[in-house]
C-alpha cells in the first residue's frame, strides 16, 4: 500500500500499539501465559453457561477448505445469538469446549495452590519461641527513589539521579510479647557512580538546610501486633479489611511512616487484604503463631486477582514461588505495580514481599530551603526525593534464638548492588533447520563483559521488514540458542540481561531466505 | 505434530501475543485490551487444533469478537471501536498529540466520519499490515469481497478528506480541541520520569 491516505491513517494508530513492550511488559505477558497454561485444555468446569462468553468462530477463510469441526462452529455461532434462552445448547457447547468463561478475576489455580501449600506447611511449623527465647527476624528492605531538584523559578522538577536506600532490620520478639527491640542500619546505594556524583551536592545542601534526609527519618520497620488475631480465615480477612492492625512504632519516628508509639496500620499507606496479610507474614510481627501464619496464607489464597509468577529468586538468592496480587485499582495498572510475594511452599515461609506504591499517593517532597511548610524566598535549588518503585522486604534470616542479642546467619546470599548491564552478545548466527519448514535456529556467544553480576537471560527479537519489532523470547533462558517457529522476515538481534537491566543489542543477523513450502494465499 | 500442546501454545503465544496486543491496544484502552488479550489466547489454548498455519488472521478474528463481546457485556457503545492518537491526550498519556499536524487531524476526522465497517477494512490493512487475503480471513468474507470493500472504503475516505472540515461529524468537540493543544508535554513529564 503506497497510498498517501493510508499513510495518514497509519500515523493515527494509537502510540500504545507501537509500545506493546512498555504497556504490557514481557513479565506481564509471561504471567498471562502461565495463567492460561494452568487451565486444563478440557477443563470446562469453570465455565458458566448462563454468562458464558460465546466466541463465535471464524468463517473458514483459510483457503476455503472447511477445517475439521466446521459444523460445530456454525452451531456455536447461532448459539451465541440464542444463548440467553438456550441454556441446554450452551451446556452442549461447554462440553465441546467452545464457550469461554467470563470472570476476568477468576483466580489462577497455580497461585492459590502455592499459597494453600504454604498454609499447610506453616500450620505444622514448630518455630515459636519458648520461655526466655526470642523469635529473631532479620530483614533487608530497599526503597528505590528518584531524586529531583526544583530549579529556581521552574514549575516542574528535574530528575537528577536514582538511588536506593537499603535498610537492615533486626527484631527479637519474646514469647510473651515483651522485651522486643529493633536494630536498624540504613545505607544509601547508587546504581552508578554517575548517580552518586549527581546527587551528592544536593544531599549535602539538603542536610545543611536542616531538612530531614530520608536516611535519617525513615528508619526502623514497625512491629505489627498480631496478638489475639482470629485464626479463622474469613474472620481474619475481615479484621485485616477493617484495618484494625496495630503497629508498635519503629526505633525512630516522627514521620508518617515510621510512627512513634502504637498506631493503627490504617494511618499508614492504604493496603489491600492481600497486602495486609503479607505485612503480617513478612514481619517483624508480635504474637505470630503457626495457626495464625496458616490462616494468613489461607486468606491470601482466597483473594481474587492473584497470578502465579512461577519460580523466582528473592533478593538474597533464595528460590521460591512468586505470587502477584492485583487487588485494588484497575486491572492493567494493578498488575504492573502489583504486590508480589515470594513463598517457600514447603516450609510455609514468606521469603520476600514487594509492596506497590499507591500511584495516587504523592510522597513528601522534601525541601532543602528551610523547615517544611515555611515559605522560602531565598531558595535557589530545591532538591527532593520521591519513591518511584515498589518497596521490597527480603527476609534474610529468621528463627528462634536464646538471647535478645543473638543473631542467625543469613539463609541466602546478600547480593551486591548491581551497577552495570551486560555488554552485547557476539557471533549471532542463524541457520535454517533442514526439513523443518519455516523454523530457524539462532545461536550466539555470551558477552565478554557480563556487567556486575551474572547474565540472567537473553532477549531475542526480530526487526521486521515493516518496521515493527517482535520479541521471540524475553530473558527467561540463559541458553545461548533459540529456535524460532515462524517464517522469519527480518533481522535478529540478541540482548543480554542481568539484575541491572538489559544490555545493548548485538549486531543484527539476517535470516536466510525462507523455504518456499507454504505459498501465501 | 512435534512438541507437547504446552510447547506449541507457548511458541504461538511468544510469536503472536505482541502483535495481537498491538491490535487490541489500537482499539481499546489498556484494561480492556489486557482482558481481551487474555481471553483471545484462552480461546486459542482451548482450540489449539483449530489454529491454522498462518495464525495471525485467525487470532485477530478471535480478538475482534472477544473485544466486541466484552464491550457489549460492559454495556458500552460499539460504534467507535478504534482508539486514535489524541483520544487520551487529556489524560496526559501520550506525547505524540502535539505532533498531530493539520493533515493528520483532517485524516482523523475523516476516519471518524466513516462507518465502523469501512474503518475496520482500512485499519486492518493500514494498521495491522495484513494482506487482503489475511484481512478477508479476519472479517470472514471472500478475498474478492474484501478487495471491493477496501476499494470503496478508500474512495469514501478520500472523499471525506476533501470535505472533512465541513462535515459536522468531523468537527472537533471541545475535548478533542483540548487534546490537540500543544504544550501537553508538561502533563506527560511525570510518566516520562
| Contact yes or no for B21 and A521 at CB 8 A | no
Q: Which of the listed ranges A190-204, A256-270, A339-353, B14-28 does the model predict with the highest average pLDDT?
A: B14-28
- Give contacts of B 166-185 with A, CB under 8 A: none
Could you tell me which chain B residue has the CA closest to the CA of A26? B18
| B160: contact with A, CB 8 A cutoff | no
DSSP per residue, A95-117: HHT-EE---TTPPPHHHHHHHHH
Which pLDDT score is estimated for B102? 66
For Cα atoms A454, A455, A459, give the angle at the middle one, nearest 5 degrees: 170
> Counting Cβ atoms within 10 Å, is residue B144 exposed (0-12), middle (13-18) or buried (19+)?
exposed
- Confirm or reject contact between A511 and chain B (CB < 8 A): no
**Rg, chain B, Cα only:** 18
C-beta of residue A461 within 8 angstroms of C-beta of residue A470: yes
Q: What is the pLDDT of residue B20?
A: 93
Contact A59 B26 (CB under 8 A): no
pLDDT classification of A261: cutoffs 50, 70, 90: very low
How far apart CA A25 and CA B61 sit, in angstroms, is 24
Cβ-contact A393, A341 below 8 angstroms: no
What pLDDT, in 10s, does the model give residues A158-179? 777 777 777 777 788 777 666 5
Average pLDDT over residues A487-497: 79
At A421, the pLDDT band (50, 70, 90 cuts) reads confident
pLDDT given for residue A260 in this prediction:
33
Q: What whole-number distance in Å separates Cα of residue B91 and Cα of residue B184?
A: 10
Percentage of the residues of chain A whose pLDDT score is greater than 90 = 2
Distance of CA A517 to the CA centre of its chain: 43
Q: List the single residue in A20, A59, A159 with the smallest CB-CB distance to B18.
A: A20
d(CA A472, CA A476): 11
Predicted local distance difference test score (pLDDT) of residue A273: 80
CA dihedral A281, A283, A285, A287 (to 10 degrees): 40
> Which pLDDT value is given to residue A435?
58
Each residue of A274-312: pLDDT tens digit? 877 888 888 777 778 889 999 999 999 888 778 887 777
Tens digit of pLDDT for each residue in A112-134?
A: 888 988 898 888 876 667 777 88
Does residue A3 contact residue B154 with C-beta atoms inside 8 Å?
yes
Nearest to A224 by CA among A342, A300, A139, A151: A139
User: Which chain A residues touch B111 with a CB distance below 8 Å?
Assistant: 9, 12
pLDDT by residue (tens digit) across A32-80? 787 777 766 654 433 322 222 333 222 222 333 333 333 333 222 222 2
According to the model, what pLDDT value does residue A297 have?
A: 94
User: How many other C-beta atoms are found inside a 10 Å radius of the C-beta of residue A299?
Assistant: 28
Our CA-based measurement puts residue B161 at a distance from the nearest CA of chain A, in whole angstroms, of 9
Written as nine digits, the cell of A30 is 509471561
- Please report the sign of the dihedral spanned by the C-alpha atoms of residue B52, residue B57, residue B58, residue B63: positive
Residues in B touching A24 (Cβ below 8 Å): 21, 25, 33-34, 37
Q: What is the pLDDT of residue A222?
A: 62
pLDDT of residue A188 exceeding 70: yes
With a cut of 50, list the residues of chain B below it in pLDDT. 1, 78-80, 87-98, 164-193
pLDDT of residue B16: 92
The alpha carbon of residue A81 and the mean position of all alpha carbons in its chain are separated, in whole angstroms, by 40
For testing contact with chain A, the best of B47, B114, B153, B180 (most A CBs within 10 A): B47
How confident is the model at residue A465, as a pLDDT? 67
Which of A41, A53, A470 is nearest residue B39 as measured by Cβ atoms?
A53
Categorize the per-residue pLDDT at A513 as very low, low, confident or very high, splitting at 50, 70 and 90: low
Q: Least CA distance to B100: which residue of chain A? A: A12
Distance between the two ends of chain B, CA-based, in angstroms? 47
Q: Which of B43, B50, B122 sits opposite A9 (nearest CB)?
A: B122
pLDDT in tens, A83-108: 222 222 222 223 222 233 333 333 34
**Would the CB atoms of A17 and B22 count as touching at under 8 Å?**
yes
The nearest CA of chain A is from the CA of B147 a distance in Å of 13
Per-residue pLDDT tens digits for A1-28: 446 677 777 878 887 888 888 878 777 7
- This prediction's pTM: 0.42
Q: Sorting pLDDT into bands at 50, 70 and 90, what band is A395?
A: confident
Average pLDDT over residues A330-356: 68
According to DSSP, the β-strands at A224-225 and A285-286 are parallel
pLDDT of residue B17: 92
Reply yes or no on whether the pLDDT at A155 is more than 60.
no
Task: Please report the pLDDT score of residue B13 as a whole number.
Answer: 92
What chain B residue is nearest to A42 in terms of C-alpha separation?
B46
Quickly count: other Cβ atoms within 10 Å of residue A455's Cβ. 21
Of A104 and A244, the structure prediction assigns the larger pLDDT to A244
Does the CB of A151 have a partner CB in chain B at under 8 Å? no
Output the nine-digit C-alpha cell for A216: 535519617
Whole-number Å distance between alpha carbons of A39 and B24: 23
Count of other CB atoms within 10 angstroms of residue A452: 18
**Considering CB atoms only, which of B37, B84, B158 is closest to A32?**
B37
Q: Which residues of A touch B62 (CB under 8 A)?
A: 55, 58
| Matching residue, cell 471518524 | B112
Compare CB distances from B25 to A16, A98, A486 and report the shortest one's residue: A16
On chain B, the residues whose CB falls within 8 A of the CB of A484 are: 15
- What is chain A's mean pLDDT, rounded? 64
Between A271 and B149, whose confidence is greater? Answer: B149
Question: Which of B107, B149, B160 to mutate: most A Cβ within 10 Å?
Answer: B107
More confident residue, A186 or A106: A186
Reported ipTM: the value is 0.71
The percent helix, strand, coil of chain A (3-state, each to 5) is 25, 30, 45
pLDDT of A320 over the 80 cut: yes
Model pLDDT for residues A469-485, shown as the tens digit of each residue: 677 776 666 788 887 76
Crossing angle of the two packed helices A233-241 and A273-282, in degrees rounded to 10 = 100
Please name the residue of chain A whose CA is at the shortest distance from the CA of residue B111: A9
Pairs of CB atoms within 8 A across A/B = 198
**A318, A412 contact by CB (below 8 A):** yes
CB within 8 Å: B41 and A159:
no
Say what percent of chain A tops pLDDT 70: 53
pLDDT of residue A42: 54
Amino acid at each position: 500500500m503506497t497510498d498517501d491516505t493510508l499513510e495518514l491513517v497509519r500515523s493515527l494508530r494509537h502510540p500504545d500499539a507501537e509500545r506493546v513492550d512498555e504497556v504490557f511488559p514481557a513479565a506481564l505477558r509471561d504471567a498471562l501465559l502461565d495463567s492460561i497454561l494452568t487451565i486444563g485444555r478440557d477443563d470446562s468446569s469453570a465455565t458458566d453457561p448462563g454468562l458464558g462468553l460465546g466466541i463465535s468462530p471464524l468463517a473458514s477463510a483459510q483457503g476455503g477448505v472447511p477445517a475439521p469441526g466446521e459444523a460445530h462452529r456454525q452451531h456455536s455461532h447461532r448459539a451465541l445469538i440464542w444463548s440467553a434462552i438456550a441454556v441446554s445448547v450452551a451446556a452442549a457447547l461447554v462440553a465441546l469446549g467452545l464457550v469461554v468463561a467470563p470472570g476476568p478475576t477468576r483466580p489462577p489455580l497455580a497461585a492459590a495452590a502455592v499459597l494453600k501449600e504454604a498454609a499447610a506447611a506453616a500450620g505444622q511449623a514448630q518455630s515459636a519461641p519458648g520461655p526466655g527465647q526470642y523469635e529473631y527476624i532479620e530483614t533487608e528492605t530497599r526503597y528505590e527513589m528518584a531524586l529531583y531538584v526544583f530549579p529556581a523559578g521552574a514549575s516542574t522538577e528535574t530528575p537528577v539521579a536514582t538511588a536506593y536506600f537499603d535498610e537492615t532490620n533486626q527484631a527479637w520478639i519474646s514469647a510473651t510479647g515483651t522485651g522486643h527491640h529493633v536494630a536498624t542500619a540504613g545505607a544509601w546505594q547508587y546504581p552508578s557512580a554517575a548517580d552518586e556524583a549527581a546527587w551528592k551536592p544536593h544531599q549535602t545542601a539538603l542536610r545543611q538546610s536542616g531538612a530531614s534526609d530520608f536516611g535519617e527519618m525513615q528508619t526502623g520497620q514497625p512491629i505489627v501486633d498480631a496478638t489475639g488475631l482470629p485464626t479463622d480465615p474469613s474472620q481474619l480477612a475481615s479484621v485485616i479489611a477493617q484495618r484494625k492492625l496495630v503497629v508498635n512504632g519503629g526505633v525512630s519516628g516522627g514521620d508518617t511512616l515510621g510512627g512513634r508509639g502504637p498506631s493503627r496500620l490504617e494511618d499508614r499507606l492504604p493496603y489491600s487484604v492481600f497486602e495486609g496479610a503479607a505485612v503480617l507474614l513478612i514481619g517483624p510481627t508480635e504474637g505470630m503463631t503457626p495457626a495464625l501464619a496458616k490462616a494468613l496464607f489461607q486468606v491470601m489464597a482466597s483473594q481474587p486477582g492473584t497470578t502465579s509468577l512461577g519460580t523466582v529468586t528473592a533478593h538474597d538468592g533464595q528460590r521460591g514461588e512468586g505470587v502477584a496480587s492485583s487487588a485494588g485499582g484497575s486491572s492493567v495498572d494493578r498488575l504492573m505495580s502489583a504486590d508480589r510475594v515470594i513463598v517457600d511452599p514447603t516450609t510455609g515461609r514468606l521469603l520476600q514481599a514487594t509492596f506497590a506504591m499507591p500511584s495516587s499517593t504523592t510522597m513528601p517532597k522534601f525541601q532543602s530551603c528551610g523547615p517544611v511548610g515555611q515559605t522560602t524566598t531565598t531558595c535557589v535549588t530545591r532538591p527532593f526525593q520521591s519513591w518511584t518503585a515498589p518497596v521490597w522486604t527480603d527476609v534474610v534470616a529468621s528463627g528462634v534464638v536464646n538471647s535478645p542479642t543473638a543473631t542467625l546467619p543469613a539463609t541466602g546470599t546478600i547480593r551486591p548492588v548491581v551497577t552495570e548491564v551486560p555488554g552485547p552478545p557476539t557471533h549471532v548466527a542463524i541457520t535454517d533447520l533442514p526439513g523443518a519448514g519455516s523454523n530457524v535456529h539462532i545461536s550466539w556467544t555470551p558477552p565478554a563483559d557480563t556487567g556486575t553480576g551474572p547474565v540472567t537471560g537473553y532477549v531475542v527479537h526480530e526487526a521486521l521488514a515493516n518496521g515493527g519489532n517482535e520479541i521471540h523470547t524475553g530473558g527467561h533462558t540463559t541458553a545461548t540458542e533459540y529456535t524460532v517457529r515462524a517464517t522469519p522476515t527480518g533481522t535478529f538481534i540478541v540482548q543480554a540481561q542481568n539484575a541491572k537491566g538489559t544490555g545493548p543489542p548485538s549486531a543484527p543477523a539476517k535470516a536466510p531466505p525462507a523455504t518456499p513450502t507454504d505459498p501465501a494465499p | 505434530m512435534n512438541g507437547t500442546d504446552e510447547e506449541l501454545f507457548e511458541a504461538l503465544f511468544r510469536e503472536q501475543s505482541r502483535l495481537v496486543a498491538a491490535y487490541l491496544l489500537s482499539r481499546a484502552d489498556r484494561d480492556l485490551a489486557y482482558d481481551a488479550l487474555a481471553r483471545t489466547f484462552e480461546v486459542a489454548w482451548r482450540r489449539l487444533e483449530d489454529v491454522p498455519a498462518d495464525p495471525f488472521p485467525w487470532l485477530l478474528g478471535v480478538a475482534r469478537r472477544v473485544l466486541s463481546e466484552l464491550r457489549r457485556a460492559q454495556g458500552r457503545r460499539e460504534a467507535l471501536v478504534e482508539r486514535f492518537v489524541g483520544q487520551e491526550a487529556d489524560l496526559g498519556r501520550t506525547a505524540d498529540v502535539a505532533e498531530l499536524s493539520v493533515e493528520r487531524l483532517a485524516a482523523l476526522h475523516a476516519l471518524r466520519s466513516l462507518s465502523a465497517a469501512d474503518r475496520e477494512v482500512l485499519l486492518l490493512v493500514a494498521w495491522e499490515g495484513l494482506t487482503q487475503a489475511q484481512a478477508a480471513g479476519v472479517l470472514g468474507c471472500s478475498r474478492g469481497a474484501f478487495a471491493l470493500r477496501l476499494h470503496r472504503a478508500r474512495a469514501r475516505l478520500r472523499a471525506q478528506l476533501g470535505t472533512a472540515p465541513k462535515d459536522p461529524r468531523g468537527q472537533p468537540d471541545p475535548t478533542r480541541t483540548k487534546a490537540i493543544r500543544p504544550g501537553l508535554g508538561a502533563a506527560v513529564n511525570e510518566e516520562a520520569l
